[in-house]
Structure formats: structure tokens, C-alpha cells
Structure 1
Amino acid sequence: MKLGYHLGYWSSGPPAGALEAIVRAEELGFDSVWTAEGYGSDAFTPLAWWGASTSRIRLGTNIVQMSARTPTATAMTAMTLDHLSGGRFVLGLGASGPQVVEGWYGQPYARPLARTREYVDIVRKVVARERPVTHEGDFFSLPLAGGTGLGKPLKSTVHPLRSHIPIHLAAEGPKNVALAAEICDGWLPLFFSPKSDAFYRTALAEGFARRPEQAQPEHFEVAASVPVIVHDDVEHAAALIKPSLALYIGGMGAKGVNFHHDVFARMGYEEVADTVQEHYLAGRKEDAVAAIPTSLVEDTSLIGPAEKIREELSAWEETVVTTLLVRGDAATLQSVAEVLSASS
């Protein structure tokens, strides 16, 4: 199992020590580094700026929000970064949710899976650069239908370094996970648990079955964001993670339309998730955090003494996950690498 470093998206400004941590991750042999975006910093710029100080580690977005850019604009950036990094770029895409898509980008959210399918198809066409790009779909039209009539199919002036740039899809629901297996090169789960492995294997198998024989991926990646905290006190480690879980379970989406909440409900924590959401949406954030049991944290994280983490890692190694994406500063990455490498 590979290790990756996930910086996430910025809060009020650039994270302190990010460049140091990225350089250290490469020195430690981490396979990849990933950036994200919400509705503040973007994912591409930090990846290019900090990635310029590296030479080997793969550079990925986890994730770029599709509603933020047209498919051709995303493909242009992907080809540019792939050239500048010497073929190390991985394009991680995601639909986000209606609050951000409609509230921040002013774009419609309806039928996100169908929109994703068209989006990925156009990006593939641009990067392949086999012919001028055309597309007639429900969401995208190239050239634009009903415009001035002067638009014409175009082919990128830039020749891609690689005619196939890996595309990974962030997904939580079973239909979206299946879509990742059908049309992409990897899946980016946010809240994965070994207990849910069979559920996701079924969804992935459904997607793989829809691919043509010649389009089966040689290596399909599953890069899961997994908090890893090495600490002698399990409860202390869990307490560091619970506020973030409360935000996602309770506050990232409206009641009834929160995909993160649904993940934990399927995991067997439906009552807990409902309680957390009720508290959070009512402004009782401390109560929301307090409602999260440590067992929920342990199901989706690797926390506690080094020996405990090494023992629990075996369960993760038996899942579909191929890469653990960890967070933290340079010192955290060092301790995580030491613990996880000692178990291999």
C-alpha cells in the first residue's frame, strides 16, 4: 500500500509549513501529494507552486470541482501541469454538492452523474488531441448550439506530454463509485472504512462490468483520505478528529442532502449521524462533536499507539484501497512513515 500526502483546501490562508512538508514527503518516499478546493483557494495553483520544488512525487488534485471550470479549461490546465511536472499530474475531479455548486458557482446541480460523464468525456477528447473536439450532450455543446454560428471545432494548440492523463473521481454514493470504475482511472473516497469494503467492491465491480474489454484499467487506484495520528492516548487522538467529522456529517449539506452523513449512516451510524446533524444545524457544534463516539473515528482512521496502528493496518491492506492519503506537518509525516513502514 502506497502513502500519499493530502494538504486539503486552505482555511483562512495558506497552511504554514506546506512546502516543507511536501519536500519531506518526497524524501520519505511518499508516492503522491494532493491539493483541494472548496470556495476559497483553488486546487491547481498551490499544486503547481509547491510541486515545482519536487522532482519525483506525483501531483494530484483531490479535488477540482467540475462546476468551477468548463471541461476544456480543466483539460488545458491538466495538460499544462503535466508538461511542467514531467508527466506527474493526476486529475482528481468531483461534483461537490448543491450548496456550493448553486450557491458559489451559480451552476445547476441536477443530474450530477450524467454531467460528470460528459465532463470526463470532453477532457479525454482534449487531452487525446486526435481531432477537433465536438460534443453534443445535455450539459455541454461544442461548438455552442444556438450561438453566433461562428464557433468551430478546435484542437488544442498544445501537444500533450501524455495522451492519457489519469483521471480520478471523488465519490461516496454507490452509483458514483460505480461511475468512477466505469470511466476513470481511480476513485478518491473521503470516509472509507474496512467495514464498508464489501459494499464498495460491489459498486466498483458494477462499474468495471460496464467497461469494454479493451478499456479495462491495468491499475485502478483507490486513494483514500485516512487520518493517521500516532499518540499513546486514543481518546486524545480521536478528539483531534471529531470536530472535522462533526462539520462534514452535520454541516456539509442540508438535512436530507448530505452525502457525508449518508456514508456514516450506511456504515451503521445512522442514529449518531442524525444526532450530529441535528445539533450542528441548530448551531450546537460542541454537542455535535460530543455525539461522535470514538469507535466511529477508529472505523475511518488509524489512531493511537504505534503498535495499535500497525495491528489495525492489516485490515486496510485487505481492502480495495491502494494508497493512504495522510495529513499533517513534516514531523507528522515522519512519524506516520516510520509506523507504517515498520508494519510492511
Structure 2
Amino acid sequence: MNLGLTVGYWQKSVEDLTETVQAAERLGYDSVFTAEAYGSDALTPLAWYGARTSKIKLGTAVTQISARTPTATAMHALTLDGLSGGRLILGVGVSGPQVVEGWYGQPFGRPLARTREYVDVMRQVWSREQPVTNDGPHYPLPCRSGTGLGKSLKSIAHPVRSRIPVYLGAEGPKNVALAAEIADGWIPFFLDPSMVESVYGDALADRHPDFDIVAPVTTVVTDDLDMALQIAKMPLTLYMGGMGAREQNFHLDLIGRLGYAEEAHRVQELFLAGRREEAVRAVPDELADATSLLGPIERIKDRLTLWRDSPITTLLIAGVRDEPTLRALADVIRG
């Protein structure tokens, strides 16, 4: 199982985590991943960290496909991959209707079909086998409206790699199946390692042998397990309660598939009512513990068995910033 680090997106103010990323590289971490929601973007920090490192892989978990056209994302990717010496892992995802329609001003419909077209266009850009075209309805190239002067083009730049790895951030079984079909890896969310097969086994059945399952896991190393559980509940509360509309919240649906549908709806009700502390307390301890690595380092070492016995191939440590803890985790995970 590979070991990586996820630093997420900025929380309110600027977060330059260069020292953390450099420490992870020194300790042999395989990758560092960034993210974006509706604030800081995922690609700029990777360029910053990539310029200050030499070996660690640079991943996005994830860039939102509605934020950029597929050719724009392909340009970002080939540029960053080239400057970093072929270190990019491009994770992409559809986000949800609240962000796509409220932030990017685009309709959310047909996310699977949009993703399929998006990935195909990017791979055409990188391969440079012929001018890029797309007959699909979502990203037609050349454009079918306007002046009629649009011309199919081939990238002027020659990518360092003609096939940059593309991973899909996916939660629903159909989207996970799409990842197994067209992508090089899958980035799940709030994953219980003991339930990967029961929840996603069918969706992952046709994945290729080198398919990478990259699982971010909230990690809190402390002797105070109760405090660790409270910390782990905070992102669960935010995503069940606030990262999606009341009527459609993919994260809420995911927690339901893990067996906590009633509890998830209660958390959402409390969160949307402004009762945030109650919402955190309403997250079941068992759910927070199952989707995280919490407590003293020996307890984490014991619980790693569940992750090693699952189909997960890369573990992304989330929430750790200091080098001593990164070192301790590296020792137990590799041990």
C-alpha cells in the first residue's frame, strides 16, 4: 500500500504547506494531493510545491470539471507535468449541483456523460495523434455555434507524457464504475475499508490490474480518543450538512450506503438549522472511527489491518502537518 498526504484546500486564509510537503518527501511519502471547492484552486499550490520538491508525485483530489473546459485542464496538466518532470496525477470530479450551478453558473445534468467526454478530450490533447475533436453534446469541438470559423487544433506543446494519469473522484456506484472503466484510479470519500467490497465490489469488478484506489483518511494521533473522534466528526458534519443541497447531497447518500442513513439525515437537519455543535455530536462514533485513523499510534497500527486487507492501494493521510507525526505514521504503515 502506497503512502501519500493530502493537504486539501485553503481554510479561510492562505496555507503554504511547503515545509509539510518537503517533510513528506524526505520521509518517502509517494504523493501529495490538493483539492478545490469554491475558494483556492487545486493546481496552483501543486506548482508551488512542485518547484520546491523533486520526487514526490503531485496529485489533485480533485479538480472540478465545471471549473475549466477539458482543453484548459489538459493545458494546465501538461504544463505542470512538464515542469515537474512527469509527476502529476490528475484527479477530476463533477462536484455537485449546488457548486456547479451556484458557483460556476453551469447546468449540472448528465455528470457521467460529461465526465466521459471530458477525459476523452484531455487524452486527445496529450496524445497529439491528431487535431482534437469531439462530437459529444457537452464539449463540442469545434464549437457548433458562433462564427463557424472554429478549427480543430493540435497542442503546440509536446507533453512530457502522452498519457498523464487521470483519476476520478467518485461516490456513487455508477460513477465508481465509470472510473474503473475509463480512468487510471479512483479517489473515494469517507471510505470504510471493511465495506469497500460490499458497497463498491460490483462497480470495481472490471478495473484493470494497475488501477489505483487512493483513499484519503482523516488521521489524528493522540492519546485522547474522544478528542480525536470529535475532530474526525467535523468534516463528516460539514459534508453531510453543508456540502450539498437539502434535496440532493451526494455525501449524505454515501453515508447512507454505509448504513447510517437515518443518522445522516439527522446531522443534515441540525446543520441546516444552524445547530452545528449538536450536528457534530449527532455523528455516530462508529462512523467517525471506521472512516478515520484515530488515537494512539499503537491503536492506529492495529487498525491499519483493515486498510491493508481492503482493495485500497494508496492511503492518503489527511490532517497531519508536523514531521514527527508524519514519520511515526510512515513507520507503522510501512511496518
Q: Does 1:160 align with 2:159?
A: yes
Shift of residue 300, structure 1, vs aligned partner: 0.2
Partner of 1:285: 276
TM-score (norm 2): 0.96
Shift of residue 218, structure 1, vs aligned partner: 4.6
Contact 2:194 2:310 in 1 (8 A): no
Query: Distance in 1 between the 2:97 and 2:25 partners?
Result: 36
Partner of 1:7: 7
Partner of 1:319: 310
Counterparts of 1:243-254 in structure 2, within 5 Å, are 243-254=234-245
Partner of 1:128: 127
Given residue 194 of structure 2, which amino acid in structure 1 is its aligned partner?
K
Shift of residue 335, structure 1, vs aligned partner: 3.0
Contact 1:135 1:142 in 2 (8 A): yes
Given residue 305 of structure 1, which amino acid in structure 2 is its aligned partner?
P
Shift of residue 293, structure 1, vs aligned partner: 2.0
Shift of residue 77, structure 1, vs aligned partner: 0.7
Given residue 237 of structure 2, which amino acid in structure 1 is its aligned partner?
A
Name the % identity: 56
Structure 1 window deviating more from structure 2 (117-126 vs 192-201): it is 192-201
Query: Distance in 2 between the 1:9 and 1:109 partners?
Result: 22
Q: Does 1:334 align with 2:333?
A: no
Task: Please list every run of 5 or more consecutive structure 1 residues that lacks an aligned counterpart in the other structure.
Answer: 209-216
Given residue 294 of structure 1, which amino acid in structure 2 is its aligned partner?
D
Given residue 8 of structure 2, which amino acid in structure 1 is its aligned partner?
G
Query: Distance in 2 between the 1:299 and 1:43 partners?
Result: 27
Shift of residue 338, structure 1, vs aligned partner: 3.0
Counterparts of 1:211-226 in structure 2, within 5 Å, are 217-226=208-217
Shift of residue 312, structure 1, vs aligned partner: 1.2
Given residue 4 of structure 2, which amino acid in structure 1 is its aligned partner?
G
DSSP 3-state at the match of 2:204: helix
Query: Distance in 2 between the 1:194 and 1:326 partners?
Result: 14
Query: Distance in 2 between the 1:35 and 1:287 partners?
Result: 30
Query: Distance in 1 between the 2:288 and 2:328 partners?
Result: 20
Partner of 2:227: 236
Counterparts of 1:1-344 in structure 2, within 5 Å, are 1-15=1-15, 18-198=17-197, 199-205=199-205, 207-208=206-207, 217-327=208-318, 328-331=320-323, 332-341=325-334, 344=335
Given residue 330 of structure 1, which amino acid in structure 2 is its aligned partner?
D
Query: Distance in 2 between the 1:94 and 1:100 partners?
Result: 12
Query: Distance in 2 between the 1:194 and 1:4 partners?
Result: 17
Shift of residue 147, structure 1, vs aligned partner: 2.1
Structure 1 window deviating more from structure 2 (319-328 vs 114-123): it is 319-328
Shift of residue 242, structure 1, vs aligned partner: 1.3
Given residue 321 of structure 2, which amino acid in structure 1 is its aligned partner?
D
Contact 1:201 1:320 in 2 (8 A): no
Moved over 6 A (4+): none
Shift of residue 220, structure 1, vs aligned partner: 0.7
Shift of residue 201, structure 1, vs aligned partner: 2.2
Given residue 204 of structure 2, which amino acid in structure 1 is its aligned partner?
L
Shift of residue 340, structure 1, vs aligned partner: 2.2
Shift of residue 146, structure 1, vs aligned partner: 2.4
Query: Distance in 1 between the 2:258 and 2:71 partners?
Result: 37
Structure 1 window deviating more from structure 2 (220-229 vs 196-205): it is 196-205
DSSP 3-state at the match of 1:288: helix
Shift of residue 329, structure 1, vs aligned partner: 0.8
Query: Distance in 1 between the 2:224 and 2:157 partners?
Result: 53
Query: Distance in 1 between the 2:69 and 2:210 partners?
Result: 28
Query: Distance in 1 between the 2:266 and 2:75 partners?
Result: 44
Task: Please list every run of 5 or more consecutive structure 2 residues that lacks an aligned counterpart in the other structure.
Answer: none
CA RMSD, Structure 1 to Structure 2 (Å) = 1.2
**Residue deviations 1:173-226 (CA, integer Å, cap 9, x gap):** 000000000000000011111232112122111x54xxxxxxxx4511011110
Contact 1:25 1:330 in 2 (8 A): no
Query: Distance in 2 between the 1:127 and 1:7 partners?
Result: 27
DSSP 3-state at the match of 1:180: helix
Query: Distance in 1 between the 2:126 and 2:322 partners?
Result: 35
DSSP 3-state at the match of 1:338: helix
Contact 1:6 1:33 in 2 (8 A): yes
Contact 1:90 1:166 in 2 (8 A): yes
**Residue deviations 1:267-287 (CA, integer Å, cap 9, x gap):** 111111011011011111111
Contact 2:297 2:328 in 1 (8 A): no
**Residue deviations 1:23-56 (CA, integer Å, cap 9, x gap):** 0000010000011111111111110011111111
Contact 1:34 1:62 in 2 (8 A): yes
